[in-house]
Amino acid sequence: MASVAGPKPRTRPTTRRRQGQIVGAAGVGLAALLPAVLWHDVVADVARLRTVDTTFVVGWAPWTLMILGLLCAIPIVAEHLRDREHRFHRPGTGAWAGWGVTLYLLGFALATQVAQIHGKYS
């Protein structure tokens, strides 16, 4: 038997938008700090390399991908800061979010492999 309940209380769109912005900012902050916490010794060893060779490029590739993924959040923030009533406002930052998540996850997966190789040969 289905229960009959009244309409659910609605939150204001500005409250939901503000909550989404806070969650998004916390997520980007966590994504920026997590690699430093997990792989600080690997990054320190890669930073000590002085010759530009295959080891140097492979060592910096995951962090470059993660930084590029985090930088994709800039257009999203810029779009949220714009006036929605402005003449040239164009909603739609889904592609930036998709690229950001994809680049970050690829970098995270590659960083995991680089850390495993570092642990094996260090």
For 22-77, write each residue's pLDDT tens digit.
898 899 999 999 999 999 999 999 889 888 888 888 889 999 999 999 999 998 88
Quote the pLDDT of residue 76.
85
Put simply, whether the predicted model's pTM sits higher than 0.85 gets the answer: no
Q: Are 108 and 35 in contact (CB under 8 A)?
A: yes
Range with lowest mean pLDDT among 1-5, 17-21, 81-85: 1-5
Cβ atoms < 10 Å from Cβ of 42: 21
Quote the pLDDT of residue 85.
76
pLDDT tens for each residue of 76-114: 888 877 777 777 767 777 899 999 999 999 999 999 999
pLDDT of 1 over the 60 cut: no
Q: Reduced to 3 states, what is the DSSP secondary structure of residue 9?
A: coil
Question: Which one-letter amino acid corresponds to residue 68?
Answer: L
Quote the pLDDT of residue 78.
84
- The two structure tokens encoding residue 105: 């996850």
Alpha helix positions (H), 2-122: 13-38, 40-47, 54-71, 73-81, 94-121
Structural domain boundaries in the chain? 40-121
**Residue of 52, 63, 44 whose CA lies nearest to 113:** 63
Give the pLDDT band of residue 6 (cuts 50, 70, 90): low
Q: Are 111 and 35 in contact (CB under 8 A)?
A: yes
